[in-house]
Amino acid sequence: MKRLLLSLVTVFASMTLAAADASIVLIAGTPSHAPGDHEFRAGSLLLAGCLNRLPGIHATVVSNGWPADTAVLKSADAVVVFANGGTAHPAIRPERLKLMNELSAKGVGIGAAHYGVEVPAGDPGFAMLDWTGGYFEMFWSVNPTWTATFQSLPVHPVTRGVKPFAIHDEWYYHMRFVPERKGVTPILSVVPPANTLDRSNGPHSGNPFVRASVAKGEPQPLMWTYDRPNGGRGFGFTGAHYHKNWGNEDFRRVFLNALLWIAKVEVPEGGVVSAVTPEELRANLDPK
| Residue 287, domain member (yes or no) | no
- 48 pLDDT band, cuts 50/70/90, is very high
Question: Does the structure show a pLDDT above 60 at 15?
Answer: no
| Residue 270, domain member (yes or no) | yes
| Residue 249, domain member (yes or no) | yes
- 2 pLDDT band, cuts 50/70/90, is very low
Average pLDDT score over the chain = 93
| Residue 288, domain member (yes or no) | no
Residue 3 burial (CB count, 10 A):
10
Q: What is the pLDDT of residue 7?
A: 46
Are 58 and 96 in contact, with CB atoms under 8 Å apart?
Answer: no
Percent of the chain with pLDDT over 90: 92
Question: Does the structure show a pLDDT above 50 at 12?
Answer: no
Number of independent structural domains in the chain:
1
Report the CATH number at residue 229.
Answer: 3.40.50.880
**18-39 pLDDT, tens digit each:** 457 899 999 999 999 999 999 9
Average pLDDT of span 221-239: 98
Which of 16-20, 59-63, 215-219, 282-286 is least confident?
A: 16-20
Percent of the chain with pLDDT over 70: 93
Q: DSSP letters of the chain?
A: -HHHHHHHHHHHHHTTSPP--EEEEEEE----SSTTBS-HHHHHHHHHHHHTTSTTEEEEEETTSS-SSTHHHHT-SEEEEES--GGG-TT-SHHHHHHHHHHHHTT-EEEEEGGGGB--TTHHHHHHHHHHSEEB-TTT-B--EEEEEE----SSGGGTTPPPEEEEEE--BS-EESGGGTTEEEEEEE---GGGG-SPSSSSS--HHHHHHHHTT--EEEEEEEE-TTS-EEEEE---SBGGGGGSHHHHHHHHHHHHHHTTPPPPTT-------HHHHHTTPPP-
- 82 pLDDT band, cuts 50/70/90, is very high
Q: What is the pLDDT of residue 288?
A: 86
pTM: 0.92
Closest to 209 (Cα-Cα) out of 147, 144, 142: 142
| Residue 115, domain member (yes or no) | yes
Question: Does the structure show a pLDDT above 80 at 277?
Answer: yes
Q: Which amino acid is at 189?
A: S
Q: How far apart are CA 255 and CA 261, in angstroms?
A: 10
Q: Which domain holds residue 87?
A: 2-282
Average pLDDT of span 164-187: 98
- 239 pLDDT band, cuts 50/70/90, is very high
Question: Does the structure show a pLDDT above 80 at 178?
Answer: yes
